């Protein structure tokens, strides 16, 4: 019989994983406390570099099911999420994502869903980059100063230069 594990990740100490665990329970998954792994770490940290996730991988066995509320709990980067899913699939572990209708991400339908979502996310990211670049070009053409505002006034800059020359 498959064992159910839950992975809940939050990014800051002000956040709490209880909401994620509540969602998993509400979806009908029976969670045993010893099979819940939660940690506070940024999603930008690769799953393989997170201490809690590494302990989880050591505990999982073929046939187990890992449940997460959203893909971004596994990682913010599509490549890292894909690598993590592939690693779990290789170990014979199914990965269910509630935000995607509870689909098993290691199944053909789950892989297709993840591929579509990753393609849309990449498309959105590319559009954002394109809009940002267009905005920067327009701002430069209008003579606007780009970047952070200077911390020193012109008088302060001249005073520093005079002191350096003394």
Q: Which residues are catalytic?
A: 11
Burial of residue 5 (number of CB atoms within 10 Å: 0-12, 13-18, 19+) = buried
What lies within 8 Å, CB to CB, of 29 at 6+ separation is 4, 6, 67, 96
Contact status, residue 100 vs residue 23, Cβ threshold 8 Å: no
Q: How far is CA 152 from the centre of its chain?
A: 37
Cα 37 to Cα 75: distance, rounded to the nearest angstrom = 15
CA dihedral of residues 22, 26, 28, 30 (deg, nearest 10): 30
């Amino acid at each position: 019989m498959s064992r159910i594990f839950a992975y809940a990740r939050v990014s800051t100490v002000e956040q709490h994983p209880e909401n994620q665990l509540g969602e998993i329970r509400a979806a009908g998954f029976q969670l045993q406390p010893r099979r819940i792994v939660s940690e506070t770490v940024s999603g930008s940290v690769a799953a393989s570099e997170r201490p809690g996730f590494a302990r989880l991988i050591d505990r999982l066995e073929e046939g187990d099911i890992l449940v997460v509320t959203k893909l971004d709990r596994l990682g913010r980067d599509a490549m890292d999420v894909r690598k993590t899913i592939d690693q779990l699939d290789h170990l014979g572990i199914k990965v269910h994502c509630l935000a995607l209708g509870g689909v098993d991400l290691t199944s053909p339908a789950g892989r297709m869903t993840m591929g579509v979502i990753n393609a849309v996310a990449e498309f959105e990211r590319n559009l954002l980059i394109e809009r940002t670049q267009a905005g920067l070009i327009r701002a430069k053409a209008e003579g606007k100063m780009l970047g952070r505002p200077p911390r020193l006034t012109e008088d302060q800059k001249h005073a520093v230069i005079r002191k350096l020359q003394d």
